[in-house]
């Protein structure tokens, strides 16, 4: 009986990066869609909030891509990755974008 092949250590980082990319794309679409729906109620404020949500979605995607590049450099870079102070930036931007999109959706429902 043969043993299973060893997993590629880079695949986990790649799957995580792809998941963050999908998340940032979904956030961007949700922010723009919610801004468009809330525009009749909030006017220009809806577009400003949609722009803020879009900016946060871009920050999530940018930081996740940067983190993936650091993880792919090798084992020495992983120590630097763990010591990174901005490790929570994608999650904070994700939460902020969710709040902005939620406010736009609430304005649409109440208006």
- Please state, in angstroms and rounded to a whole number, the distance separating the CA atoms of residues 58 and 85: 19
Using CA atoms, how far residue 8 sits from 14, 15, 35, 78, 108, in Å, is: 10, 12, 42, 16, 46
Q: What would the DSSP string read from start to end of 84-101?
A: -GGGGHHHHHHHHHHHHH
The model's confidence at residue 22, banded by pLDDT at 50, 70 and 90, is very high
- Token couple for 104: 């736009």
C-alpha angle 38-41-43 in degrees, rounded to nearest 5: 85
Q: Could you report the per-residue pLDDT of 48-59, keeping only the tens digit for each?
A: 988 988 998 898
Exposure string (b/e) for 56-67, b if CB count within 10 Å is 16 or more? bbebbbebbeeb
The ranges assigned to domains in the chain are 13-110
Asked if pLDDT for residue 77 goes beyond 60, the answer is: no
Asked if pLDDT for residue 64 goes beyond 80, the answer is: yes
């Amino acid at each position: 009986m043969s043993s299973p092949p060893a997993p590629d250590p880079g695949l986990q980082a790649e799957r995580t990066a792809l998941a963050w990319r999908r998340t940032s794309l979904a956030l961007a679409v949700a922010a723009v869609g919610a801004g468009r729906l809330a525009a009749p109620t909030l006017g220009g404020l809806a577009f400003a909030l949609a722009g803020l949500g879009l900016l946060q979605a871009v920050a999530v995607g940018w930081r996740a891509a940067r983190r993936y590049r650091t993880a792919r450099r090798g084992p020495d870079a992983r120590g630097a990755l763990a010591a990174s102070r901005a490790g929570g930036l994608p999650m904070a931007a994700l939460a902020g974008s969710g709040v902005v999109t939620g406010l736009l959706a609430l304005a649409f429902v109440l208006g």
